Amino acid sequence: MADWLAFRVLGLQPGSRLGEAVAFFAYDGPKVLLLLGLVVLGVSFVQTFISPERTRDLLAQRTGAWSNLLAALLGIATPFCSCSAVPLFIGFVRVGVPLGATFSFLVSAPMVNEVALFLLLSLFGWRITLVYAMTGVAVAFLSGWVIGKLRMESHLEPWVMEIPFEPSVATAGPSGLSARLAVSAEAARDILAKVGIYILVGIAVGAFLHGYVPAEFMVRFMGKSAWWSVPLAVLIGVPLYANAAGIIPIVQVLLAKGAALGTTLAFMMAVTGLSLPESVILRKVMRPTLLAIFLGVVAVGIVLVGFLFNVLM
């Protein structure tokens, strides 16, 4: 179908750069979008049973490294939108969730989210998915643990602990089957509308790389032998903001073109886990020192993951 569109309808030459790019684009676009719609529908339904309030209450009684691990794991399944990062952060800290565990959650939630995992699974198989999930949780766990050990509580903006606060209870989610289904269907539609553009741009970039960038170039700059490519990929990825669904088409092409797995994983984690807009939002609750430590610790963790996999695989 995609070949037919590219080579027959548009009259492009098979093997030509533009032809291969268009074929790739036409094949991947509908597939990824359909897959994403189904995944979000299912996941949103399950998530109507999980709320940030419950996650918060589960974490509130914990201390030590366990709280970081649990927070990193709960981050995978708990619905999270970076637009409510600030109220969530305050809600966690004020009911007594350790600061380190709050950070573990904040790293893991956008980076190792269910949409990313399902897409990775359907496009790359279980091995890469498992590697991504485990290392993502490890980065979230470790960076939160380090921040906890540094005792940075005094580097929060004072208003965070001072404003009047009353913890809400987790009773305000949708209830009843039809309400849950309605919310999930709407979530799927929303994400497709919003993320669809991202994915299409991602696929377009991917298609360009696929059609125009020679494989030798990629191997040279993102292959195993180029050790500096891991920190570079993280440095490029941190300010970029795309959610997991948008970055995956690019990841697909990078891998197919011979980029090393560690470098590619590091790039994906940096793009999804850290972003400039989220940093600006988080600056409202923490002083620059803490924000810098947060970004630094997570970035270092991601670089280590990249190195580890380039050495192992």
Partner 1 sequence: MRIEVLGSGCAKCKLLAERAEEAANNLGLAFTLVKVTDYPDIVARGVMSTPGLVVDGVVKSQGHVPSVAALQDILR
Q: Give residue for tokens 């498992």.
A: 130
Please, which residues bridge with residue 286 across strands?
156
Q: Is 193 helix (H, G, I), strand (E, B) or coil?
A: helix
Give the helix ranges, DSSP H, for 241-285.
244-256, 261-273, 276-282
Binding segment for partner 1 among 28-36, 99-107, 170-178, 237-245 (CB under 8 A)? 170-178
Q: Does 86 bind partner 1 (CB under 8 A)?
A: yes
Minimal distance in Å, beta carbon 312 to partner 1? Answer: 38
Within residues 116-135, the interface with partner 1 by CB under 8 A covers none
Kindly tell me which residue out of 19, 79, 98, 110 binds partner 1, with binding defined by CB under 8 A.
79
Question: Pick from 30, 186, 216, 296: which binds partner 1 (CB under 8 A)?
Answer: 186
Residues 15-54: x where in contact with partner 1 by CB under 8 A, - otherwise, as a string: ---------------------------------x--xxx-
3-state helix, strand, coil in the chain (%, to 5): 75, 0, 20
Residues 92-111 that bind partner 1 (CB under 8 A): 92, 94
- Rounded to whole angstroms, the Cα distance separating 39 from 43 reads 6
183 makes contact with partner 1 (CB under 8 A): yes
C-alpha distances in angstroms, 59 versus 21, 102, 149? 47, 9, 17
Taking the complex as a whole, how short is the minimal distance between the CB of residue 83 and partner 1, in angstroms?
Answer: 4
Query: How many Å apart are CA 1 and CA 28, to the nearest integer?
Result: 11
195 binds partner 1 per the rule CB under 8 A: no
Question: Minimum distance from CB of 94 to partner 1 (Å)?
Answer: 8
Contacts (CB under 8 A) with partner 1, residues 264-283: none
Q: Is residue 159 within the footprint of partner 1 (CB under 8 A)?
A: yes
Per the CB < 8 A criterion, the answer to whether 215 and 170 are in contact is no
User: Which one, 166 or 288, has the nearer CB to partner 1?
Assistant: 166
Q: Are 207 and 22 in contact (CB under 8 A)?
A: yes
Q: Find the shortest distance in angstroms from Cβ 179 to partner 1.
A: 6
User: Which residue from 41, 3, 12, 49 is spatially nearest to 170, judged by alpha carbons?
Assistant: 49
CA distance linking residue 97 with residue 106, whole number of Å: 12
- 11 lies in the binding site for partner 1 (CB under 8 A): no
Residues that bind partner 1 (CB under 8 A): 48, 51-53, 56, 79, 81, 83-84, 86-88, 90-92, 94, 159, 163-168, 172-174, 179, 182-183, 186, 190, 194, 284-285
